[in-house]
Structure 1
């Protein structure tokens, strides 16, 4: 589909339903001269100035309707009305990230992301999470090189409370921050670095490349999380000074979308944010081109299975005119099955994965190509580098095809539409555009600049930024295999120059807000009237042998559906576990009619996707498309479903990749711990006790005839059903799915699980992972199969204050109080036939034994004493009000339908759950805790460094058994 055609689609069904009805805004815009201007109907509070109001001025313009305001203190406010669901999304973005830090003071921005959740003058420690969670909301924050944002989605009656919380940490944070909170969060950040960087395969890739790419002292030369030594060197005053410098209202954008009353919202904003004084004026960062005189080869050995080659060229900066053609070049080189890297590296089986991308930040972009080598076919990464360079040369001769431009432009537009399926998606776009461009109305500009890319542009940027230009080339190889690197290092990490900043952190001034007389900011705002929450209306019909369960979603012109075949890993022979997964993977390859590349090209031009996957009990075909392209996309889906080619070439490649993936997963402590726990729960005699990908031995045993046999025996409409969410009504969807009647098949006999093994409660199974910076802990037992309104549901409610929420007992203890982990949780998990209860976390290595003690103490105490009255009130409020967020997006609606279809539920089950929740008593929850949380019935799995931990763990008094990753005893 051409870009113009896509825009006309939006002009018709989409603009009215997607872009205007969500807001119903009056229009007054300063962005284009010919947009209509109307009289402002909102009474503006004193001190708030309206900047502009924007909606589509004509049928072919794509916008998210918004109104933009400023406060006297410099705060920018962007409001978007969306009445489709009873919720609001609040985003506070500060124009500060790691790129505003100074040498020797890295990681401050990310540290503040953590610190600003720790309470302020009028918000107690841990109260921020508690207030939002018990309001039925969800919250988080994120930091990148250029900005930090805090965001929450809550029922619409909670908006005033969210504004109070955001304003209090902006204006009243410094007086409340304590040395204790500072130290705990410093440990939490260290745990995060250990979990995501130091203890993770390839975790140091981007840090090392950044050091080599940018000059010393450049703000992109260090990672967002920063260096541990900088965090260790920082003191509380350093952080306070950084806060005063960057977290003022004049360096922030407050964006709110959803079911809001604009006039009331502005009154609240004035009340809570208006008195906060402006911070120092900040200049936008200055872009300085980065050039490399020659290729910089760097390398490292890591605890990995698959060697990695990463090549990165410096280019331009975000929003530069050449950003768009460089994005198109990246698509041609290494995105999807139409790309040159796929053709030259992945399809021949030389690599397990390959990709090209053009990542942009505010003052720097990089064009990157990377591969994960297949060690069975590649012994030296220099060979892959040569193939990549040959692929670039091939591009010169091949040039840019018409389909290349069509694919990329369709992807841009479809991605924008999919991004508008949630109010959080719309708010996030508005906030980002305003932060980086001072203009929330950036969607039309983005479409226009990609629409304007020509073949000549793409060739020009290749010549200018890539051809014959120097790059950073990094090799990451398994430990002890340095001979595999692409080339000897030509660049060495420097010893960082740390400026002497002693005493500087004491030199800063700041002012508290001066509130109007009589205004008591310490009072938590009340909640508004509870919104009306309604599960989606559903309809049912049959297509051939299959039942279809559907729901209409008129907010976006898209269709998402799943065809669910009730046969997957549960049908795998024990000696060939992984067969269902490998079969599903091959369904994504060539058909008897077309190659995988041809199919991929057609789907990309439609802005659609069709993919197969296999879980424990269902093989699923997932289809996502713009509704205008539903018929064309369903034709491709039917071709994949009915005419898989199952070629020897595809099979050999996919099987080899699966084996390499299994080997790579053995390097992940978290995967090892979870896989071993599952095997302990369900036993070696059940295929679903294993990872769905299988084991090296079982996958090695699978033949192409096995795949063909699994498809013939189990891919049948007799055991299939469809769930779908579309802007089409029932009749329209039924017509679109009619081609599925061509699918025929036989009955498939059901399969039962074998008997489960006896659990040796009180046993701790230890797996040695030498040199691990963190340990993985799993504690649990077999429990209940899924039941939407029975004991399983009630048990989940019981567990919520123990380990189900951020501010649960377990997480507050291990993360917030002790600083042992980045996060700890517990939960019940079940399907139709079985289930288990599990608590777990990745913890700091030196706190492994202490963490086990704390886990055990929390579980025992809850088992013995049960829930408190305060926790019961909190749990009912948090779970009950969260339904306002449950049905917003097509994906959420699809999950609701899938649950109904899987467990044969009526839509009224959500009302039954609500009644059960509100009727739960302390006595009932205490009884459930007593029954299901006896620690003596539970086993423990710990994966960590034996040399450092084993003796201390043995001293805890459990029956400790050392096993390998498969659960076999180690002599």
Structure 2
């Protein structure tokens, strides 16, 4: 269902698991009674009652209008700081688009008291993670760090809120404008279907509507922007009175408020911000639009205008979208995907502050004909079928079960809770929006769903967009009958500024002094247990009582590694079929049962293993495990399921053949390992190998792969060990011995100093991969040390490679390098997507940085930075059940001692630059590496040859 089923409410388990809600409320009263810093007012204090869903918080306001929301969570030694500004691309003007997103980039370029690149370096060195995001309605910035780093984060955020402009230079602006262009090229122009949404929205929204242009902006508008425009945008929208500061985690509230007052109180208010109008979008008739793209599968998207976020009809429309196109139990899945007319199809109801829309998309299956007109007819027949089908009691029950389950799972990180508090406050003016959402979604009736169907969907005009392969205009659903107009370009990027908004704030203390760090935090490393089931399957687990949930992963050693090269793709296809029918129930019946439980059971496969993931509320674990037993031990192997999944896999491979990222990964594996060993061939298979697979192949692989001898289990649950082990009895029914890995063929020789070029005509960017084979994974040997050595070269945002190619040259949206290791093999890779016109220059810069690092290694400052970042970052490693499961799996997979983390810490803190530089000298000789580039051969090959490389054409 969308946001309300994914992560809206964030405290069901908090209320349900809290041992003493009365104590929480008493603490709230105590804090409320504490003398607050001058100019700080307590607005609201909330703690959920027993059984109530909600996140405890305190809401304050500073005299300058800044809203502050605090949430205590002492379960892990970390904090998340989120600053959300209520400004997105909706505050831009036609012809002046992209400013909100461009400004997100500018906010990381240093401020008056924080040097260039220092913001990112400080957060990374603190062991934290950080980012910023922009959408139509808001821009947010966040850091998650060990809790002893909180004051430093407030210093950073306050300095860029109040003191950014003195450090904003023309050079910084130009570099970030190029970075945004690279981001657009990578995410939009160079990606199949990348321009779909922005063209669709032009037809969907009225001329000049704030959602009619893309958040990232039009290229011409980015070129039109000036440094002064950016400065004006900051002055207009980045005042504290248009911001919410949300802090959650292991905090002392009184101390936190004192710091907030110190760092933010002297920042002056910005101009007044008034809400934007929300007129409902309407269409006078159905609009048909189309575009040709470098794609294999024709795509159809249909959109119907509805309401806006928090409108009374939003919940019923969400449920309508779920019934029509929300997965295997939906009408659209039944009529389009299961019947083979579409490779994928779904309906959803995305909502933003000013508008929502019901959208349905379908990727045509060429096996049933690639024309989109019949697909449109099928979709409209499915919509009409809903009127006859109606809404069932189970529809409502399923929605409520999913709602409750997803809410509880969303409690598993401080970041998630802080994000929800910030969003509710920004858009509702109340961090406690959960209760209202629960009430309005639980109140939806069958009559409500039918009513919104009649009002917004039945016989209503829509926008219908066809995306077809180059030269495939005959496949479109109908001839275009609409072309967007171009309103007059706005004279100014920003309006509403006054003279008093240009005055620089004055601070009452020396902001050039970076705050000190409190004492080191104590790591909460999970306490692990190890056991075996009756059939000798090893189980490793830990108890995690923060949420009443259970996550179980069953790993079957083998995967792509044990399938013959001639049958590549068999492991993944077998997993797909296991996700379908059993001997007792159809896939639809099983999906319905799982949705009513709010649970997930999913098979998958990759290069070295097949996997079964089980995720459920612990209260439903027994019922979920009964379904696991049926799906794992009684697969249906229905011919129709096999044929449909095989056809979908074939069409997906055809689709991926035009995706530059996929092309580069496939080509790089072939370059390093050849196509005579499994690791050199994609686990997706090839068109040739997949087309030859049979249902008997799947049955045979199932018997070979899904055995007790191949299985290992990782479990994270709020249940204690012995109680959880009894719940795993269905897994103890597995039988069969382990499957040995087949012998691999000899690997190819890396020639070095050669560029292998995969042609992608008209590519807006080139994908560059530089690398060689190295060593397999180890926890404390050369592999581990190699990644320590690589950290300043390409392992962090402010590494040499990224600062050069992104921040200094503006060639790319991001560039990095890493050592990657598995059980048998490993490799080094440096990579980045660069502007097509600077492919040769970018490659030269990559090689310059690798060459210099190979020769001289890291500096003393880089060693200190690496040590601080990696050692302090351990505080972030075990917060969620997902992270705990990953930690356990690494121990289990590589047979590591439980204390290997301590040994790694000791190594990080004591390894010398001399030792790490010797590692770099051993493994990072650029002349021992080959280069793979995916790009427009005609445009980039001459420049590569000028660099002196032998350029070899490569076919996939």
**1-side partners of 2:639 and 2:916: how far apart?**
56
In the alignment, structure 1 residue 641 sits paired with structure 2 residue 641? no
Contact 1:214–1:290 (CA<8 Å) still a contact in 2?
A: yes
**2-side partners of 1:536 and 1:21: how far apart?**
26
**1-side partners of 2:751 and 2:12: how far apart?**
64
Aligned to 1:47: 39
Deviation at 1:22, TM superposition (A): 13
Change (3 A) 1:505 1:459: closer
Change (3 A) 1:758 1:853: same
Aligned equivalent of 1:453, options 440, 444, 450: 444
In the alignment, structure 1 residue 536 sits paired with structure 2 residue 526? yes
Deviation at 1:407, TM superposition (A): 1.3
Deviations 1:809-861 (A, max 9, x none): 00000000000000001001111110000001110000100000000000000
**2-side partners of 1:420 and 1:797: how far apart?**
33
Change (3 A) 1:624 1:883: same
Deviation at 1:118, TM superposition (A): 0.4
Aligned partner of residue 879 in structure 1, secondary structure: helix
Aligned to 1:98: 89
Aligned equivalent of 2:774, options 779, 783, 808: 783
**2-side partners of 1:254 and 1:500: how far apart?**
33
Aligned to 1:399: 390
Aligned to 1:32: none
In the alignment, structure 1 residue 935 sits paired with structure 2 residue 926? yes
Change (3 A) 1:609 1:22: farther
Deviation at 1:768, TM superposition (A): 1.1
**2-side partners of 1:403 and 1:753: how far apart?**
52
Aligned partner of residue 151 in structure 1, secondary structure: strand
In the alignment, structure 1 residue 741 sits paired with structure 2 residue 732? yes
**2-side partners of 1:553 and 1:41: how far apart?**
34
Deviation at 1:70, TM superposition (A): 0.2
Deviation at 1:20, TM superposition (A): 6.9
| Correspondence list, 1:93-132, <5 A | 93-132=84-123
Contact 2:130–2:143 (CA<8 Å) still a contact in 1?
A: yes
| Correspondence list, 1:775-924, <5 A | 775-924=766-915
**2-side partners of 1:27 and 1:293: how far apart?**
57
Aligned to 1:581: 572
Contact 2:10–2:407 (CA<8 Å) still a contact in 1?
A: no
> What residue ranges of structure 2 are gaps of 5+ in the alignment?
1-8
In the alignment, structure 1 residue 17 sits paired with structure 2 residue 17? yes
In the alignment, structure 1 residue 722 sits paired with structure 2 residue 713? yes
Aligned to 2:765: 774
In the alignment, structure 1 residue 523 sits paired with structure 2 residue 516? no
**2-side partners of 1:412 and 1:16: how far apart?**
16
**2-side partners of 1:690 and 1:475: how far apart?**
33
Deviation at 1:52, TM superposition (A): 1.1
Compare 179-188 and 530-539 and name the one that shifted more. Answer: 530-539
Contact 1:334–1:354 (CA<8 Å) still a contact in 2?
A: yes
Aligned partner of residue 832 in structure 2, secondary structure: strand
Change (3 A) 1:146 1:944: same
Aligned to 2:305: 314
Cα root mean square deviation, aligned: 1.7
Contact 2:185–2:765 (CA<8 Å) still a contact in 1?
A: yes
Give aligned pairs, total.
946
Aligned partner of residue 40 in structure 1, secondary structure: helix
Deviation at 1:511, TM superposition (A): 2.3
Aligned to 2:6: none
Deviation at 1:731, TM superposition (A): 1.5
Aligned to 1:687: 678
> What residue ranges of structure 1 are gaps of 5+ in the alignment?
1-8, 29-36, 967-971
Aligned to 1:662: 653
Contact 1:10–1:60 (CA<8 Å) still a contact in 2?
A: no
| Correspondence list, 1:160-239, <5 A | 160-239=151-230
Deviation at 1:493, TM superposition (A): 2.5
**2-side partners of 1:569 and 1:67: how far apart?**
51
**1-side partners of 2:132 and 2:826: how far apart?**
32
Aligned partner of residue 167 in structure 2, secondary structure: coil
Aligned partner of residue 736 in structure 2, secondary structure: coil
**2-side partners of 1:161 and 1:507: how far apart?**
32
In the alignment, structure 1 residue 557 sits paired with structure 2 residue 548? yes
Aligned partner of residue 601 in structure 2, secondary structure: strand
Contact 1:313–1:470 (CA<8 Å) still a contact in 2?
A: yes
Aligned equivalent of 2:582, options 591, 611, 619: 591
In the alignment, structure 1 residue 511 sits paired with structure 2 residue 503? yes
**2-side partners of 1:16 and 1:352: how far apart?**
42
Contact 2:13–2:411 (CA<8 Å) still a contact in 1?
A: no
Change (3 A) 1:666 1:334: same
Aligned to 1:143: 134
Aligned to 1:761: 752
Aligned equivalent of 1:153, options 144, 150, 170: 144
Deviation at 1:502, TM superposition (A): 9.3
Aligned to 1:328: 319
Contact 1:238–1:505 (CA<8 Å) still a contact in 2?
A: no
Aligned to 1:5: none
Contact 2:136–2:352 (CA<8 Å) still a contact in 1?
A: yes
In the alignment, structure 1 residue 676 sits paired with structure 2 residue 667? yes
**2-side partners of 1:868 and 1:799: how far apart?**
12
Change (3 A) 1:165 1:503: closer
Change (3 A) 1:581 1:775: same
Aligned to 1:133: 124
Compare 736-745 and 781-790 and name the one that shifted more. Answer: 736-745
**2-side partners of 1:649 and 1:793: how far apart?**
47
Deviation at 1:27, TM superposition (A): 6.4
Aligned to 1:6: none
Aligned partner of residue 501 in structure 1, secondary structure: coil
In the alignment, structure 1 residue 625 sits paired with structure 2 residue 616? yes
Aligned partner of residue 960 in structure 1, secondary structure: strand
Deviation at 1:748, TM superposition (A): 2.3
| Correspondence list, 1:492-511, <5 A | 492-501=483-492, 509-511=501-503
Deviations 1:723-747 (A, max 9, x none): 0100111012111112222222234
Aligned to 1:34: none
Aligned partner of residue 351 in structure 2, secondary structure: strand
Contact 1:555–1:727 (CA<8 Å) still a contact in 2?
A: yes
> TM-score of the superposition, structure 2-length normalised?
0.97
Aligned partner of residue 693 in structure 1, secondary structure: coil
Contact 2:10–2:410 (CA<8 Å) still a contact in 1?
A: no
Deviation at 1:279, TM superposition (A): 0.2
**2-side partners of 1:651 and 1:11: how far apart?**
41
> TM-score of the superposition, structure 1-length normalised?
0.96
Deviation at 1:41, TM superposition (A): 4.3
Deviation at 1:535, TM superposition (A): 1.6
Aligned partner of residue 463 in structure 1, secondary structure: helix
Deviation at 1:749, TM superposition (A): 2.7
Deviation at 1:375, TM superposition (A): 1.5
Aligned to 2:3: none
Contact 1:23–1:83 (CA<8 Å) still a contact in 2?
A: no
Aligned equivalent of 1:270, options 242, 246, 261: 261
